[in-house]
Amino acid sequence: MKIPANTAINSADFTRTLRRMIVPNSMTMEDVAVPGNWANVFSKVRAHDEVIVIPEDLTWRLHLLVVETGVGFVRTALLHAIDLTKAVAKVPAVEQPGDVSKDAPEPPEGYTVNFAPAHKWRAMTNDPHMVVSKDHRTRAEAVAAAMAHSRKASGLAA
C-alpha cells in the first residue's frame, strides 16, 4: 500500500521535543520504566517527545519515546539503553607504532619493518628497496613475514 498523497509531513523539530532528564543516583533504569514514577513530571512531556534520561553520576543513559501521558503517569518505549560503567573504547584494528614494546623482535639483516597507513605494517628489503609483504595487523606479523622471505630468498626454506 502506498502512502496517501495528502499525508502531512512536518519537520520533526516542530512536532516533537527532545528533552534531557537528570534523575537521582538512587534511581535505576528499571525505575524509570515504571509509568507511575513519572507522576511529578508528567505535565512536562507529551506523546511523541523523546527523553534522554541520565543519573547524576552518569553511570547509564536511556533514550525513550513518550508513547502516552496521563494524569500522574507517562508510558514510554525504549529506543536505546547503555550502561556507561561497562562501555569500553574500541581497540584499534591495527597495532600502532607507539604501542610496540621495546623487546619486540627485530627483522633479519637486510630487511626493514615499518608502518605505513596505506600498507599497515610492512616488510621491505633494503637493497634493492622492495616491499615483500604488507597489510599486517601487528609489527610481529611483519617481522615473521620478513624472516620467512629471508629464508626463502637464501634457499633455506623447503
Query: Going edge to edge, which strands form the sheet with 60-70?
Result: 18-23, 50-55, 60-70, 73-83
Q: How confident is the model at residue 123 (pLDDT cuts 50, 70, 90)?
A: very high
Instruction: Please tell me whether residue 36 adopts helix, strand or coil conformation.
Output: helix
Domain boundaries of the chain, sorted by first residue: 12-83, 97-153
This prediction has a pTM of: 0.53
pLDDT at 14: 67
More confident: 64 or 98: 64
- CA gap 143, 101 in Å, rounded: 14
Q: How confident is the model at residue 8 (pLDDT cuts 50, 70, 90)?
A: confident
pLDDT tens figures, 23-54:
999 999 999 999 999 999 999 999 999 999 99
Strands 18-23 and 50-55: parallel
pLDDT at 157: 54
- CA gap 138, 78 in Å, rounded: 41
- Identify which of 7, 11, 16, 66 has the alpha carbon closest to the alpha carbon of residue 42: 66
Which CATH number among 3.40.50, 2.40.240, 1.10.10, 1.25.10 corresponds to the domain 12-83? 2.40.240
